[in-house]
Chain A
């Protein structure tokens, strides 16, 4: 707890991003005990929608922001157990060679992260024009699972299909992954697009996302972290919490708040406003408790 507080004040001093503290994923301790692990608190960092290759007015520092974020994470007093990028690593290009160049450059920049356990997934900008082919050359599988200190992490790909579906094959895989887990297992899902209908008018949905949510429903402890909408957002589908992250390129408007989904303008008076990354901290506790701290991004 003392360490958590220290981290919080450090982030405030650094003033580099929004942070979300997830305290006590429910059932955590019991699941960890079952797995035979001595339970340990840990935290990971989520970065999203870096859109490497984008150029334009909503971010005059488009080539500098990702590097600032890498530095910010590296300068955390305590390093996270792992880092996850929830898609749109690069900005769309119709040119397959340019796509690969952007993916390569992105990979080189994030190789500077001190923490070497970094998990990736594509966004529609990376993968939708070639069904994830170029992405896979650099980062491997677009959906996978891993376990960390008693928590089961599932990465879902709802972007390699240009229609924004998960697809029957991947849903069958998800069902098979969930099947052996105890009812109270701690499950964290990472996706790019929201699994629920956040605002389909702006394509903020996954065509068959309801099928994934249905598969997750019988599990008591599920939390979803996603990207795509370039802003912090929190939503419940039943007992499942969904948390969208800010982007590292430009903020987008709140769902339906304006006629078009156009990026919010850069404000010279508040550079990097609306951009940020988040820290997600899991502490042993009897029940789920989300402590959320949003911090402004400041000029580096």
Chain B
């Protein structure tokens, strides 16, 4: 429920940004970061993702072996990561701190240690 709601807000944000093609918006878009995250049994690389508060980011996920999940509950975002495709999450961290993420699709013995940290400064 929370996730859907937040996603809708994010989408609304994207729409508004797209319409108002002001100089500021173009600059912001140029600055927007894309971070590639690779999943494989049983880790994410990088395992530590550093983000800036109030700065939108797109995380791009691929998996080298089986179906994985990426869940970052503190920001209400998650995605499935299917072999052969790229999954994307775009969000804006609105609070600073350290937030755990994990694989939320059971992927084998070692699944439970498939975790990492988002650090927002």
| Chain A residues engaging chain B, CB cutoff 8 angstroms | 91-94, 124, 128-129, 162-164, 200-203, 207, 210, 259-261
A interface footprint on B55-75 (CB within 8 Å = 1, 0 otherwise): 000000000000101010110
**Among B71, B100, B106, contact of A124 (Cβ-Cβ < 8 Å):** B106
- B1 and A201: CB pair below 8 A? no
Report the bound CA distance from A202 to B111 in whole Å.
12
Q: Which of A128, A203, A260 has the most CB of B within 10 A?
A: A203
Chain A residue with minimal CB distance to B108? A94
Report the bound CA distance from A294 to B43 in whole Å.
37
- A164 and B106: CB pair below 8 A? yes
With a cutoff of 8 Å between Cβ atoms, the chain A residues found around residue B1 in the complex are 210
| With contact pairs A162-B106, A201-B74 given, residues A92 and B111 touching in the complex (Cβ less than 8 Å) | yes
With a cutoff of 8 Å between Cβ atoms, the chain B residues found around residue A93 in the complex are 109
**Among B67, B71, B98, contact of A203 (Cβ-Cβ < 8 Å):** B71
Chain B residue with minimal CB distance to A199? B73
- A201 and B106: CB pair below 8 A? no
With a cutoff of 8 Å between Cβ atoms, the chain A residues found around residue B117 in the complex are 259
Q: List 7 A-B contacts (CB under 8 A).
A: A93-B109, A94-B108, A124-B106, A129-B108, A201-B74, A201-B102, A202-B100
B58-110 interface with A by 8 A CB criterion: 67, 69, 71, 73-74, 98-100, 102, 104-109
Report the bound CA distance from A245 to B74 in whole Å.
26
Dominant SS among interface residues on chain A: loop
Report the bound CA distance from A164 to B80 in whole Å.
13
With a cutoff of 8 Å between Cβ atoms, the chain B residues found around residue A202 in the complex are 100, 102
With a cutoff of 8 Å between Cβ atoms, the chain A residues found around residue B105 in the complex are 162-163
With a cutoff of 8 Å between Cβ atoms, the chain A residues found around residue B107 in the complex are 162
Chain B residue with minimal CB distance to A159? B106
- A261 and B109: CB pair below 8 A? no
Judge whether B32 is part of the interface by a CB distance below 8 angstroms: no
CB distance from A70 to the nearest CB of B (A): 25
CB distance from A132 to the nearest CB of B (A): 12
Report the bound CA distance from A261 to B102 in whole Å.
11
CB distance from B35 to the nearest CB of A (A): 20
Report the bound CA distance from A163 to B80 in whole Å.
9
Report the bound CA distance from A177 to B36 in whole Å.
46
Report the bound CA distance from A271 to B1 in whole Å.
43
- A129 and B106: CB pair below 8 A? yes
CB distance from A61 to the nearest CB of B (A): 21
Chain B residue with minimal CB distance to A92? B109
**Among A91, A129, A259, contact of B100 (Cβ-Cβ < 8 Å):** A259
| Supplied contacts A201-B99, A201-B100, A259-B98, 8 more A-B pairs, CB within 8 Å | A94-B109, A162-B67, A162-B106, A164-B104, A201-B102, A207-B104, A259-B100, A260-B115
With a cutoff of 8 Å between Cβ atoms, the chain B residues found around residue A207 in the complex are 104
> Which 5 pairs show the lowest CB-CB distances between chains A and B?
A128-B106, A200-B73, A92-B109, A162-B106, A201-B100
